Amino acid sequence: MDGKQAAGRRAADEIKDGMTIGLGTGSTVYYFLEALAKKVANGFKMTGVATSQKTIDLANEWKIPMHALNDVAKIDVTVDGADEVDSKLNGIKGGGGALLYEKLVAKASARRIWIVDASKKVEQLGAFPLPVEVVPFGWKHVHAYLSEKGYRPELRYAADGQPYVTDAHHYILDLHLQSIANAESLANELDHLTGVVEHGLFLGMTEKVIIGYPDGHTETLEK
């Protein structure tokens, strides 16, 4: 068992019968979905709300009941991964390209739990490139502005050599910042930049982080 598997399985213990659950995206969430599917197969009742088409496909394969975000009144808890998380439980998300839907589902949730392996725990955010989702129309002008600010943006590409396109049909600019001295200030700047749909700074948006370690044990950080 690796850290991702340990964290994913531990998170399944947080889920109660009858809940509406936000289902995140990524390699650690895979193990959570796997554990959840076993509970459903044994008669567990729940409804899932996915943050990406990848998660929908996996949930359908494993016969996890699903609804669209617009079809549920509330989400009891969302379980998702993160690319970085600091001691204040702030994080960077969106390495898998699902940041917009992940933030929408998180905002609709009463509780949020992140599951990560130990390598994702950092002292300061920013070593992982910060994803910024932008509209394709005029994206080069957003790129130029971010370049002038010294944020070192790079357009994300798919495996076929074409620009990566999100589920919402946008592009992603990854900012290579190395470190982020003031995450709140940067988030506010990006929130007000025309052409930016969403960014991967998730600040004050989780109450619990489950960290998995290679030996199979987990550590829980809570606010």
Full pLDDT tens readout for the chain, 223 residues: 699 999 999 999 999 999 999 999 999 999 999 999 999 999 999 999 999 999 999 999 999 999 999 999 999 999 999 999 999 999 999 999 999 999 999 999 999 999 999 999 999 999 999 999 999 999 999 999 999 999 999 999 999 999 999 999 999 999 999 999 999 999 999 999 999 999 999 999 999 999 999 999 999 999 8
Question: Out of 14, 34, 84, 102, which one is annotated catalytic?
Answer: 102
Q: How far apart are CA 208 and CA 61, in angstroms?
A: 28
Has 28 been labeled as part of a binding site?
yes
Does residue 80 have a known ligand-binding role? yes
Per-residue pLDDT at 1: 65
CATH number of this structure's domain 3-121+203-222, picked from the four choices 3.40.50.1360, 3.30.56.10, 1.10.150.240, 3.20.20.70: 3.40.50.1360
Residues whose CB is less than 8 angstroms from the CB of residue 146 and which lie 6 or more positions away in sequence, other chains included: 132, 153, 173, 175
What's the pTM? 0.96
- pLDDT (tens digit per residue) in 150-169: 999 999 999 999 999 999 99
What pLDDT is attached to residue 56? 97
Would the annotation count 45 as a binding residue?
no
130-197 is classed in which CATH architecture?
Answer: 2-Layer Sandwich (3.30)
pLDDT in tens, 21-52: 999 999 999 999 999 999 999 999 999 999 99
Q: Rounded to whole angstroms, what are the CA distances from 80 to 11, 73, 144, 188, 194? A: 10, 20, 32, 23, 28
Domain ranges of the chain: 3-121+203-222, 130-197
Respond yes or no: is residue 184 known to be catalytic. no
What is the biggest distance separating any 2 CA atoms in the chain, rounded to whole angstroms?
Answer: 56
83 a known binding residue?
Answer: yes
95 annotated ligand-binding residue: yes
